[in-house]
Structure 1
Amino acid sequence: MRILVLGGSGFVGRSIAELAVERGDDVTVFNRGHATAPAGTRTVIGDRQTPTGLDALGDSTWDAVVDTWSADAAVVGAAARALHGRAGHYTYISSRSVYVLGEDRLVPDDEPGYAGDKRRGEQAAHAFGGPLLLARAGLILGPYENIGRLPWWLNRLRRGGPTLAPGPYDLPLQYLDTRDLAAFVLDAAATGRTGPYDLVSPSGHTTMGEFLDTANTVTGGRADLRWTDPQTILDAGIQPWTQLPVWLPPGPLHAALHQGDVSHALAAGLRCRPVTDTITDTWAWLTSLPGGAPQRADRPVVGLDPQTEAGLL
């Protein structure tokens, strides 16, 4: 296929571009030129936030477009309109955050923040006027992560010593390796799938215990995991998800983010690699970087400071 990736040098977009090249596709990456695109791609530089930013694409045509934009939906709409009639399929990388917490309905159009941006982005993408896939991804992990969740845990466990491990040990987790997301998106484009798909592993694909045990082993087995009751952690004022990435205590929020029904995506071909592969490959990538993991400027830095952790332990 001839594929256009809008983005393509960061986290998810880079995974999609790399896999497409590996499969033998002709891949064009469109970005602002702030980062190097994957080998084997053709880079077109432009700023899609400006009125003429998409002009650099010229009059080229593609079999499929993948749009990874996560901010102002007007940018998505502009790209979708500009590519109308010039591509056979359009994928917008959305998020399961578009759902009202714990309910099977979407957030309102005026919802502020990330959830609202993604929901409005979905609506704007319909301006493409052709086959449209809405890839509503859950928690995404794997190489190239620029949010910091798995990298923070890997670095913390590598440091070793007594380590706060949020329980319960058998707490089920849902996440998706960025490369498995890429595979689904490319396969869906090739077969013309349309509509929304919730893309995340089945609940319990791994557990908090397996997740941290595996990460500890991969990073050298230096950490002494101290499994701690959720209420003890909450009573100490430690914030789930942000100070302890990935983890949410049992309750409504955990049910919403780690116990979703993904049967629709599985039936459509979603496949999820073992957690060991995700963690091992992410650690190999992380240790190859001279300056540590990248961090998106529009996302908060995650992780628990050592003093707070030591105080609770």
Structure 2
Amino acid sequence: MNGEQHLPSLLVLGGTGFVGRAVAEEGAARGWRVTVLNRGSASAPPGVNALRGDRTAASRGGLAALESGRWDLVVDTWSEAPTAVRDAARLLAGRARHFTYVSSRSVYAWPPPAGQAEDGPLVGGSPDAPARAYAEDKRGGELAALGAFGEDRTLLVRAGLILGPHEDVGRLPWWLTRLARGGPVLAPGPRELPLQYVDARDLARWTLDAAARGLAGPYDLVSPSGHATMGELLDACAEVTGAEAELRWTEPEVIAAAGVQGWTELPVWTPPGPLHDALHRSDVSRALAAGLRCRPVAATVADTWAWMRAEGARPAAHPARSPVGLPPETEAAILGGADPRVPETD
């Protein structure tokens, strides 16, 4: 080797969407040999070797492009039928050293209580199941990876809320777009409500570090609770967009009385209670001990806004995701003191 450091070879199944793209870009930035396999519907990041194939359809290439070749590390972000993870993992088990499956904290029996860690009870799932529901699909994907690579060679990254550039759900982009529009903005309180999320790029950095070290087993990957607050998030959105926006902090009781749903109509936010505990108060000490470091919320917000502007402020939403955000007329009715569920009469 003449003292030269071996740089891992990395295969990303996907590699053009939100999290997969961040992983591929991080690997390329490290100088690793990075290969991605996808359908080619979106361009791959610069500096990677792009293979084509639709893992769900043999008629469109299937996994044929992976029938030869060897890799040190594999990262799979699949979120639908577990059989796709099963088939890929089985094909690669003899030609890759380590397999990472990017899963979700949704695999826990819902809702997990505040302070729960990786030892919480799990939903059911099967590696042989068709697509059913997100939580069961992710758990099935975990079991598929474990079945092919075994416990010692499989890393399960159970991500929480993921934000950052290329987000395909639209949570942070919705807030940025709303703040950029200016005017009175319904800001769901309390202002100091703690948030728990991870920037996709921090997830990618930690995942590749952990995989290269050969870590295995489940890790809840999300920032410590309170890494940012709802107030800090919306203040950062207001600052980076530079709009004349007025944050009007509104009590959760007022929002609930108007029939508005947290998380979907008011992205990221959930009122204090069991759902907030489940989404924003988990114990992530295991990931922190293994090196997780999270950038400031202002950096995530600023970089997401820069990406949105480069994309014409209209990033494409994931086709399988439901739209998020509060209709303007509902927001105006709440801020004006009217009940948006009751139509006005002459």
Alpha-carbon shift at residue 128 of structure 1 (Å): 2.4
| Identical pairs, percent | 60
Partner of 2:79: 70
Return the letter of the residue paired with 2:163.
L
Which whole-Å deviations, capped at 9, do the CAs of 1:118-146 have from their partners, x for residues lacking one? 01111111132250000000000000101
The answer on whether the counterparts of 1:5 and 1:29 sit within 8 Å (CA) in structure 2 is yes
1:58 to 55, 67, 78: 67
Instruction: Choose from 30, 49, 60 the match for 2:56.
Output: 49
CA RMSD in angstroms comes to: 1.2
Partner of residue 102, structure 1: 112
d(CA) in 2 for partners of 1:112, 1:105: 20
- Corresponding letter in the other structure for 1:53: G
**Matching residue of 1:210:** 232
Q: TM-score, normalised by structure 1?
A: 0.98
Matched, 1:183 2:205: yes
Distance 2:313 2:196 in 1: 29
2: CA distance between counterparts of 1:291 and 1:142?
14
Partner of 1:251: 273
Quote the residue 1:13 is aligned against.
Answer: 20
- Structure 1 stretches of 4+ with a deviation exceeding 6 A read none
- Deviation track 1:223-256 (CA, whole Å, cap 9, x = no partner) reads 1000000010011000100000000000001001
Q: Say which is worse superposed, 94-103 or 303-312, in terms of deviation.
A: 94-103
Give distance in 2, aligned partners of 1:290 and 1:208: 26
Does the CA contact (< 8 Å) of 1:90 and 1:128 recur in 2?
A: no
Do residues 142 (structure 1) and 149 (structure 2) align? no
Q: SS of the counterpart of 1:153?
A: helix
Say if 2:54 is the partner of 1:32. no
- The amino acid across from 1:202 in the alignment is P
1:22 matched to 2:29? The reply is yes
CA distance in 2 between counterparts of 1:87 and 1:56 reads 15
Equivalent-residue separation in structure 2 for 1:264 and 1:195 (angstroms): 11
Please, what TM-score do these two structures have when normalized by structure 2?
Answer: 0.89
- Contact kept in structure 2, 1:64 and 1:90, CA below 8 Å: yes
- For the Cα contact (< 8 Å) 1:84–1:127, is it kept in 2? no
What number of residue pairs does the alignment pair up? Answer: 313
Runs of 5+ unmatched residues, structure 2: 1-7, 114-119, 336-346
Q: Secondary structure at the match of 2:70?
A: coil
For residue 274 of structure 1, what is the aligned residue in structure 2?
296
The farther-off stretch of 106-115 and 299-308 is 106-115
Mapping 1:131-170, distance limit 5 Å? 131-170=153-192
Q: Partner of 1:198: helix, strand, or coil? A: strand
Sort the Cα spacing of 1:213 and 1:35 in 2 relative to 1 into closer, same or farther, 3 A: same
CA–CA separation in structure 1 for the residues paired with 2:121 and 2:168: 29
C-alpha deviation, 1:222, in angstroms:
1.8
- Matched residue, 2:338: none
- For each residue in 1:207-233, what CA deviation from the matched residue of structure 2 results, as whole angstroms up to 9, or x when unmatched? 001110111111104210000000100
Decide whether the 8 Å contact of 2:195 with 2:226 is kept in 1. Answer: yes
Q: Quick one: distance in 1 between partners of 2:10 and 2:322? A: 32
Contact 2:225 2:281 in 1 (8 A): yes
Bigger radius of gyration: 2
Residue type of the partner of 1:49?
T
Determine the structure 1 residue equivalent to 2:264: 242
Task: Report Cα offsets for 1:180-205 as digits up to 9, x if no partner.
Answer: 00001100111000000000000000
- Residues in 1 aligned to 2:15 and 2:296: alpha-carbon distance in whole angstroms: 25
Match of 1:84 among 93, 105, 109: 93
The residue matched to 2:10 in structure 1 has which SS? strand
